[in-house]
Amino acid sequence: MPEMPSDELIGLLDRLGIAQCEQILTVRPRAARLARRLPLFDSVWVDALMQHGLLTAYQAREINRRRGDDLVVGDYLLLRQVGETGTASHFLARCRSTQKVVLLYRTHDTVADERAAEQTLQDLLWRVKQAELQAEDFLAAAGLDRRRVFAVCNPFNGLTAADTMSRHGRYSSSFAQLVTRQTAEQLAALHEQGVVHGEVHAHSVFVADDGRALLPFPGLRAIVRPTEGFSHTNGAPEALDGLAPERVIEGTPATLASDMYAWGCLGWQLLAGRSPLPGGNAVAKLKSAERGNVPDIRHHARDVDEALAQLIRDATATDVHARPESFREVGRLLVASEQHMVGISRQELRSLRTRSQMPARTVRNFLASPRTPVALAATIACLVATISLLWPRNPEHSQSARKPPARSLQADDVATQENRASGTRVAATISANQTSDGEANSAGRSIHRDPHVRPAAAFVQLAPEGSAPLPGGEPLILPGERVIAAGEIRLRPGQVVRPTAGARATVKIDKTPLRVDVADVRFEDLDFVAVGDAEGFDSMLELASDRVTFVRCTFRGSDDDSHDRTAIQWDRSPSAPVDGTVGRLTMAHSIMLNIATGLRVEPNAPIAVELSNVLHLGLGPLVEMNLRGSAAHVAEFAFDSCTLRGADSLIDVHAAAGARTAVGVNANRCVFAPRTYGAVVRLIEANADSQFFDSFQWRGDGSMMASETPFAVRFDGRRQRHEVDDASLRVDGLVTGLVQFVEPAAGKASDHEIVSFSAPRQSEIRPGIRAELLPPLAWTAQR
């Protein structure tokens, strides 16, 4: 008769990090009572561990089914299943490294091309982070586990819309309008960043217990199922709810129009309590989707608001061109949430406040349990009431305790404060003379989160905040058939400057640079070209704004120009506030060619620069910093999947006498291959007493530099070159190895991807650029 659990069970629980042998043996008396006179089989031990609280019911069921190893997905341990979309499952999971509980999404199907899927996930994470959303609630991290896509986000204290309807029936008109308005706003923010959700139905929308509606995990379904049709009939029928007819008939991928159709079906289902596309199996559901005849919702919900009913009718039109053009338009037509909350009864909200999704048992649930003695509950309630009445209160002390201590901006302690206009804040206090690893706040975010590589905490931590839509956000469309002079462009705050869809536009800079002095401007799919004899200026773009974004842009100087070219000159000094507000420059999927310097900055005020998938083929540094005066200079640089080839350095620092700095670099999956006698960081100082490297910190994961390249060199006042001892620097996450490119380069971006490398890296993902996401490298400057 077995008296001990098997070695297989002990090993499994140890691998999962649930319990060790000593903890398992503590439940032996309980296991003996459960077994009575039967042998102590592993199933008995599992039941005893579940009753003891070491296992959840879902974990116990999976272990008994011999699927215990499937409980680990990436760095997460599944706790219990909370939802099912038909193509994926939702779980509550716990991160094994941080012990944080998250909501995890895992697809049923596997991907065919793992590398392409990883690159798509990286781009998707970046785009969601750029949206006007709390990115952690929608997509915090994503990756592949045994060729299945998984992603995580913050957990919700609520249920899916389908589950709430199964418990409480269909939604009232006011509550349905509240949910549809919120989902429309979220889809609008995603579509503006080029993200199509592709899975909008009642099983993917979560309704929190405070009435909020959230539509997480956008764009993931298209990775494993880019097309829909009668070839996918082996899944649950609810996975096909909201499927647009053109996706079945023509086999097209998910688009804005198909998301609009799915959103209309979602509103119809919330009001009617059932799907507008009937069908008990996948084949019947596909036939209903192919017909696309959605009845008028007013025949099934008499109390529906007329505006909402008309929007649902327009969104579910079979003609793609008859549907609303954008979710921003839909959001403007729906009334504000405050007006709807008046019409929602307290009982309706209370009915949605179901038990928490967290596995831990709360005090409220314990007191409300019928197994709890009534006398005990009454005693505790009376005790709490007595303490609250007799507790000494001091209004003045309470107000002073809630008031935060005043801080002033000092040169030796630069404390960056909140910037509500930009929607970001610095969550770290940076000393210009001394920093430590303990100062980094673990709640910070990096430019990209990779499930295989744990990102280092940024030296300057940026935390996202919700912000109102930017004023003046109407796009400025540039024609692609002719060259645009920089003087023809007039910018407004919050504007997106881009060409027509699917095209690229060329901006010619021949006499004066393009000046950007308004905030929150975003440039997309533009080629900035410096042409002619430009002796009057050396910068193509001059930024006097605090927040600028470049996506899929190229910067190139003229081939016959011997003057030093700087792509971007960023000077915050004219308008930089003195309250620690952080300026932010973001660049993604961009190329710099025939440029002496990519970005020149003078951080008289705190700055943060994020570069993702940037190829620098210039002559000089990618970033040049000019540190002047005795003020404290605070700067943070985040590089993700960037490649530097043949340039002087990644960062050049010109430090004047008395300059004090706090500079941090967070580099992930980058390749640095400067020219001969180049370096990753070069310090050009006016005096020998500069202490720049004392407050310099480099962090990251998966980046490498060429073996013949020194990390840092210093040029003294006489321009003498000295290599800096690496042992004296704080550098983490950067390795040295052999780097090989395509030789010779044939004028394509893919020629600058590394073809082989040899370095002790923990991640298997190839570092450097992702050429398929970059704009064309071979283009001609038109005069």
In contact, 608 and 583? CB cutoff 8 Å: yes
Residues 6+ apart with CB under 8 A from 719: none
What's this model's pTM, rounded to 2 decimal places? Answer: 0.48
Mean pLDDT of 188-192: 93
Mean pLDDT of 471-481: 75
529: which strand partners? 508, 556
Question: Rounded to whole angstroms, how far apart are CA atoms 143 and 167?
Answer: 34
Predicted confidence at residue 294, as pLDDT, reads 92
138, two tokens: 């929608």
Mean pLDDT rounded to a whole number for the chain: 78
172 confidence band (pLDDT: 50, 70, 90): confident
**Residue 356 in this model has a pLDDT that exceeds 50:** no
Domains parsed from the chain with CATH numbers: 7-71 (no CATH), 158-352 (1.10.510.10), 576-772 (no CATH)
CA gyration radius for the chain?
Answer: 29
pLDDT score of 549 more than 60 = yes
Which pLDDT value is given to residue 149? 96
Higher pLDDT, 334 or 248: 248
Q: Are 286 and 229 in contact (CB under 8 A)?
A: yes
Torsion angles phi and psi, residue 707, rounded to 5: -65, -30
CA–CA distance from 67 to each of 71, 72, 229 (Å)? 7, 10, 31
As given in the structure block, the two tokens for residue 429 are: 């206090």
**What is the amino acid identity at position 676?**
T
Give the chain's count of helices (H) and strands (E). Answer: 20, 42
Q: Residue 548: what pLDDT?
A: 94
Whether pLDDT at 417 is above 80: no
Q: Which of 101-110, 332-341, 425-434, 725-734 has the lowest mean pLDDT?
A: 425-434
What pLDDT is stored for residue 127 in this prediction? Answer: 92
Mean pLDDT value across residues 681-694: 74
- Distances in whole angstroms, Cα of residue 376 to Cα of each of 262, 292, 365, 382, 386: 50, 58, 14, 10, 15
Secondary structure percentages of the chain, helix, strand, coil, to 5 = 30, 25, 45
Average pLDDT over residues 201-225: 89
The contacts of residue 51 (CB under 8 Å, 6+ apart) are: 27, 30, 34
- Which pLDDT band holds residue 345 (cuts at 50, 70, 90)? very low
Mean pLDDT of 283-306: 88
Examine residue 744 and say whether the peptide bond preceding it is cis (omega within 30 degrees of 0): yes
Whether the per-residue pLDDT at 387 is higher than 60: the answer is yes
Q: Give per-residue pLDDT as tens, 129-156.
A: 998 888 888 999 999 999 999 999 998 8
Task: Determine the Cα–Cα distance for residues 569 and 384; give it in Å rounded to an integer.
Answer: 62
Give the relative orientation of helices 306-315 and 256-272 as an angle to the nearest 10 degrees. Answer: 140
Confidence of residue 469 (pLDDT cuts 50, 70, 90): very low
Q: What is the dihedral of CA 71, 73, 79, 83, to 10 degrees?
A: -110
Q: Structure tokens of 94?
A: 């716990």
pLDDT at 135: 86
| pLDDT for position 347 | 53
Strand order in the sheet with 88-95: 72-73, 76-84, 88-95, 101-110, 148-153, 141-145
The predicted structure's pLDDT at residue 92 = 94
Residue 726's pLDDT band, with cuts at 50, 70 and 90, is confident
Cα-based distances in Å from 777 to 408, 461, 604, 773: 48, 33, 34, 12
**Residue 485 carries which side chain, given as an amino acid letter?**
A
Of all residues in the chain, what percent carry a pLDDT higher than 90? 36
Angstrom distance (rounded) from CA 480 to CA 498: 10
Cis, peptide link before residue 237, omega less than 30° from 0: no
| 366-382 pLDDT tens trace | 344 444 455 566 667 76
224-252, pLDDT tens digit by residue? 998 888 887 777 888 899 999 999 998 88
**What pLDDT sits at residue 63?**
93
Angle of the 42-52 helix axis to the 57-64 helix axis, nearest 10? 170
Pick from 512, 534, 520, 464: which is nearest to 492 by CA?
A: 520
pLDDT tens across 648-684, in order? Answer: 899 999 887 767 778 899 999 999 999 878 899 998 8
Digit-coded pLDDT (tens) for 435-452: 333 333 333 333 333 333
Comparing 182-196, 388-402, 625-639, 675-689, the range with the smallest average pLDDT is: 388-402
- Residue of higher predicted confidence among 446 and 2: 2
pLDDT at 572 over 80: no
**How many other CB atoms are there within 10 angstroms of residue 123's CB atom?**
22
Locate tokens 């099983």: which residue?
203
- 229 or 198: which leads in pLDDT: 198
